[in-house]
Amino acid sequence: MNEEVKWYHRFHFGKKNRSIFDYVKLGVVLDLGLGALSLLPGVDRRKAFNFVDTIQLWTNNDFLNDYIIKNSELLSYRLDRMLDRAISDYKRNHGTNQ
């Protein structure tokens, strides 16, 4: 009954290194998910991505964020959404209705 318990845990600081296969798996899952969501009436691919991206920004998922930044289509959706929001905030705060 005098067994010694050894605890070992390797701590990792910073970003986890991802392989190309991790990005491929994420890309397939994300593309299929966006495709499935866009089949719903009134939901296009951009709206489906904006929903997923808003959740991703809220949860701060670095892996998904890295993938989005490297994908030109998804990055353009994010930039369009953020620029539109910035323009509407500016108009609202400065009283312009143009």
Torsion angles phi and psi, residue 75, rounded to 5: -65, -40
Beta-carbon contacts of residue 77 (< 8 Å; ≥ 6 apart): 46, 49, 50, 53
CA torsion, ordered 15, 24, 44, 57, to nearest 10 deg? -10
- 21-74 pLDDT, tens digit each: 988 999 999 999 999 988 989 999 999 999 889 888 888 888 888 899 999 999
Give the start-to-end residue ranges of the domains of the chain.
Answer: 41-98
User: What does the buried/exposed string (b/e) look like for 10-28 if buried means 16 or more CB atoms within 10 Å of the residue's CB?
Assistant: eeeeeeeeeeeeeeeebee
pTM over 0.75: no
